[in-house]
Amino acid sequence: FKEKLGYIRGSWGILIDALERRIREKGGEVHISTSVTRILTEGGGVTGLAIEGPEGQRSQHPFDLVIATIPSFALPPLVDLPEDYVARLEGVEYEGAIAVVWALKRSLSPIYWLNVADPDIPFLLVLEQTNLVPPSEYGGNHIIYTADYVTRDDHRWPMEAKDIVREYVPHLKRINPDFDESWIETYFLHKEPAAQPIMKVNYRERMPSTRTPVKGLWLAAMSQVYPEDRGTNYSIRLGMQVARQAVEEMERG
C-alpha cells in the first residue's frame, strides 16, 4: 500500500458545500455563524440546545441526542458535568497553531513540504501549495503556508497579521535570499488554540470517554483519536463511530 497525496480542485469548500446539500436533502438543518451557549438538560439527560444566531438572536431547540465535536476543555462551560469527568476534560493539554497563508507573485522554493528544524525560525513548516496544484488554479499566484505549533503563552497570540508577517519576512529570506516583500500580493492569518492534543505516557487511562455522564450527550474530539495524535481522517472516523453508537443506544432506549 502506498499513500497518494491529493487535493480537491476548488478547495475544501467544495466538499463542505456538498455535505451541506446532502444534509438538507435528508431533512437536516445547517446553522452557520451560530453559537451554542448552553446544552440543556433535565433529569440527567439532554433535552436540547440554547443558541445565539449571527444577529445576536437567542433561541432554544429540543433534541434527544447531542454530539459535541469541540475541544475537550470547551465542553464544561456549556453543561453541568460530574467533577471527575470535568477533570478528565480539563486535564487534556493542547498546543495551538498559528498559520499564515501567503499569495506571492513568485515561487519561494521548488519544495512542496519543507520542515524547518531551526529554533531561530518562528515557523516549523513552509508548504508551497502551488508545487502540488499549479498557480493557474489560484489566479496565477503562488500559495505558501507557514505554520507553527505554539504554547498558550506564545507572544504571537495578541499580534495582528501585519506584525506577524513583518516578523516572518526575514526568515523567508533565509529560505530564498532573493525573496522580497514586493512579491507579496496578500496574506491571511489563522490562529487555533486547540490544534494538537498532547498525549503523554499512559494517556489512555486519562482520556475522556466519548459517552459523557449526561444521557444523550456524546463527545467526539481530537483528544479521543488515541493512539493516533491528530488528523482529519481520524476525526471523521471517530465521528462516524460515535454517531453510530449514539443512535444505536438511543434507539434501544
Q: Are residues 193 and 211 in the same domain?
A: no
Q: What is the mean pLDDT of residues 148-173?
A: 96
Residue 110 lies in domain = 94-197
Q: Are residues 121 and 163 in the same domain?
A: yes
* Residues in the chain, overall count: 253
In terms of pLDDT, which residue wins out, 211 or 253? 211
Any domain includes 10: no
Any domain includes 2: no
CATH of residue 83: 3.50.50.60
Any domain includes 180: yes
Any domain includes 13: no
Q: Rounded to 5 degrees, what angle do the CA atoms 130, 132, 136 make?
A: 45
Number of domains in the chain: 2
**Does residue 253 register a pLDDT over 80?**
no
Any domain includes 6: no
CA dihedral 167, 173, 178, 183 (to 10 degrees): -30
Which cell numbers hold the place of 162?
Answer: 501585519
pLDDT band at 2 (very low <50, low <70, confident <90, very high): confident
pLDDT tens for 94-126 read: 999 999 999 999 999 999 999 999 999 999 999
Any domain includes 50: yes
Tell me the CA distances in angstroms from 201 to 196, 205, 253, one per residue in order: 16, 9, 37
Per-residue pLDDT at 16: 93
- Among the candidates 172, 197, 222, a domain finishes at 197
Q: What is the mean pLDDT of residues 193-217?
A: 94
Per-residue pLDDT at 166: 97
Residue 67 to residue 52: CA distance in whole angstroms? 18
Q: Are residues 224 and 192 in the same domain?
A: no
The one-letter code for the residue type at 166 is R
Q: What is the mean pLDDT of residues 8-27?
A: 93
Q: What is the mean pLDDT of residues 222-244?
A: 92
Per-residue pLDDT at 107: 98
